[in-house]
Amino acid sequence: MHRLPLRGVGGTHLVLLILALLAAACGTAPSDDSSADVLTDEPDAIAFEATTSTSSSVPELKTIRVAARNSIGASPLWIADARGFFRDQGIAIEYVPVTDEGAVSSALAAQEAAIAIVSSTAAARSNTTRQLVEPIVYVDATDGGSDAERGSLSLVAPVASEIDNGCDLEGKTVAVDSIRSISAVALREVVLREGCNPLAVRFTTLDGREIASQLMTGEVDAAATFDPITTELLRGPNVLVENLDFALCGGTERCPIWIAVARSDWAASNPELNAGFIVAMEGAINWIFDNQLEYRAELVSCCAVNADDAAAVVVPNFPGDRRDFQRDLTRLRTVIQIQNENLDLLRSGQTVAAASSNEDVVDDEAVDKEAAPEDEVADS
């Protein structure tokens, strides 16, 4: 009995088909070119999928430790983190919480932080002496107040103190965050410009939690503060005496209040991270200006600002108005230099006055002593 061949399949093809099936069952690649192409591509595809899986495709973020206070002025830092601007640069931020300017300087000096948010006066001084830090990017992007006439930095005093201007501060105690901070510099500038003596003002350093209670008890007569502390103080029996950042810069031009500085040694060793931080911060500031409603809403969660105050925050055109680092810092250095010269004159004047007073006393005593022997001789 003759077996009929399978229709459409020749004897040779049948053999090849059987061999291919056997090879597949045994895990051996067949010799057919088209089958070989399919199977040899499979390991490559598997390897590619393994290298592009979610766990391995995301680059590891590099951490930067940043010292900053929880304030509206530093809000772009929180926005840059929450909105992924740092992540886009391959950066993760580890916060070093601080309460005042002195703690910021300490964190940098002790290398607890690579970058810090500092007042602009600290940034203006940074390229003097040992140059431990260098300014890298503006941070403040808000006027930080519900009153359009109010700046980021304000002088607040109790109504009962009857402090109406800088001259009224002579002999008074004023709370600042640091003796060398922008708060103290701006306060002295106000007193100087009004023709009074800032050396007669007593300073005490307090953090935000202490200011309100010490104003109420009268332990301090006034406070130079930033939001959200200023707004909280103005809810009580206090008044806004002076817009200190406007006074410091002259006219109605705002000062650059907060600036990010990097430790010089860290910046030199990590140029890419340093550049990435700058890009992320500038991206956040641009986002703030373009998305002001969302920004005000996020202030409630990031910076201890209540909804009513956040809704009225003034956001200036930071990207367009204040990009010239050198101009702004040069202006502040000039203010600080002139102020120091004025303070030196005042100190020297006090010294001369004290010396004159002492000389008069000495001269009188000398005259008396010189006259006594003559009188004694005459009497004898």
**pLDDT band with cut points at 50, 70 and 90 for residue 19:** very low
Residues 235 and 309 in one domain: no
Q: Is residue 231 part of a domain?
A: yes
Task: Identify the domain boundary among 249, 265, 298.
Answer: 249
Q: pTM to 2 decimals?
A: 0.68
The two tokens of residue 270 are 């990590």
Among the ranges 108-122, 250-264, 308-322, which has the highest mean pLDDT value? Answer: 108-122
Between 155 and 206, residue with greater pLDDT: 155
Domain presence at residue 340: no
What are the tens digits of pLDDT across the range 238-283? 999 988 877 776 655 666 678 899 999 999 999 999 999 999 998 9
Per-residue pLDDT, 123:
76
Q: Lowest mean pLDDT: which of 24-38, 117-131, 143-157, 310-324?
A: 24-38
Evaluate if residue 113 carries a pLDDT over 50. Answer: yes
**Do residues 97 and 166 both lie within one domain?**
no
Do 184 and 319 sit in the same domain of this protein? no
Element (H, E) at 127: none
Of 293, 255, 253, 228, nearest to 75 by C-alpha is 228
Return the residue matching tokens 């103290």: 184
The lowest-confidence range among 31-45, 64-78, 92-106 is 31-45
Q: What CATH number should be reported for the domain holding residue 309?
A: 3.40.190.10
Provide the pLDDT for residue 255.
67
pLDDT at residue 115 is higher than 70: yes
- Classify residue 181: in a domain, yes or no: yes
Within-domain flag for 99? yes
- Both tokens of 326, joined, read 């050198």
- Checking if the pLDDT of 317 tops 70, the result is no
Do 69 and 213 lie in one domain? The reply is no
Domain membership of residue 305 as a residue range: 62-144+256-326
Highest mean pLDDT: which range of 29-43, 182-196, 222-236, 362-376 = 182-196
Q: Residue 98 region, left (φ>0) first, then alpha (ψ -120 to 50), else beta?
A: beta
- Among 249, 284, 299, the domain boundary falls at 249
pLDDT tens-digit map of 303-312: 777 787 788 7
The whole-number pLDDT of residue 102 equals 74
| pLDDT (0 to 100) of residue 81 | 93
Instruction: Looking at mean pLDDT, say which of 37-46, 129-138, 253-262, 273-282 comes out highest.
Output: 273-282
Distances (CA, A) of 110 to 32, 77, 133, 263: 70, 22, 13, 11
pLDDT at 146: 53
Q: Note whether residue 198 is domain-resident.
A: yes
**Do residues 215 and 264 share a domain?**
no
Give the per-residue pLDDT at 134: 85
What CA–CA distance (Å, rounded) separates 371 from 127?
A: 60
> In the Cβ-directed half-sphere of 338, how many Cα atoms lie within 13 Å?
11
Alpha carbons 119 and 101: distance in angstroms, whole number: 8
Q: Above 80 in pLDDT, residue 40?
A: no
CB atoms within 10 A of CB 295: 22
Residue in this structure with the two tokens 């002579």, named with its chain if needed: 170
The answer to whether 328 touches 134, Cβ cutoff 8 Å, is no
pLDDT, residue 357, reads 57
| Chosen domain end from 225, 249, 273 | 249
Inform me whether the pLDDT recorded for 21 exceeds 80: no
Are 160 and 233 in a shared domain? yes
What is the model's pLDDT at position 179? 81
